[in-house]
Chain A
């Protein structure tokens, strides 16, 4: 079972802004999971050990974000909503 945290965004511009904000934490830029939203979107994947720092920074300076805890086992993906608005 792999796990990671995923920031999703209300707009692509918020995602790109967050990418710069978190750049030193090396987030992985990936498409928003189908399980979370069917629309096209940029998400930032963060390793569990980086989550605390990433969340603090996003709370201080980020905009329009939501946070999910993702559990992946093979093809099976479970998303737990943690914070923010659920994407439409």
Chain B
């Protein structure tokens, strides 16, 4: 099976691949024109226990997904994570670059302190999910935020950053920490967490 996804923006290449894999396909080649699509497809392959081979051809990327026989990857949370019947650990959703509503200066400081406090916590979140203007934090110039996010990542917190949002704000190249992600993965982290905290 061969899919031409050149010119298709995130998350279309993943949607197209997922649709075919859901039909039970064991092997799939998809050609894309950007690295973010390659990363997203690689993660899709990982979650399904498939091997992935990437070949660069004239500025495009040919991504081969092949069934490896390995079991599909289950949640790889290394962060301390309490499990309940609804899921494991907790996810923190950050949909804007300030905490709450009100004066921006205060909101920015509250966000800085919230991320700092999370990074020093004994129980770090299983995942930190950035969307909309929240993506300005991992792609921004505030060293304290980047340091705290790095500390969280070192403690096992997974940092997912919405690729559509980075693209919208023209920040894709400026991302300093975290993985460029998509709606599927971000929602999946929320669904598999025992609770989701929105800042």
Contact = CB atoms under 8 A, between A and B. Distances in A.
Interface stretch (A25-33, A48-56, A57-65, A80-88): A25-33
A30 B117 contact: yes
Contact of B116 (A26, A30, A75): A30
A39 interface: no
Contacts of A16: 105-106, 109
Nearest to A72: B120
Contacts of A29: 109, 112-113, 116, 144
B69 interface: no
A28 B106 contact: no
A12 interface: yes
Nearest to B114: A31
B106 A31 contact: no
Interface of A: 12, 15-16, 19, 26, 28-31, 42, 75
11 contacts: A12-B106, A15-B109, A16-B109, A19-B109, A26-B143, A28-B116, A29-B112, A30-B116, A30-B117, A31-B116, A42-B109
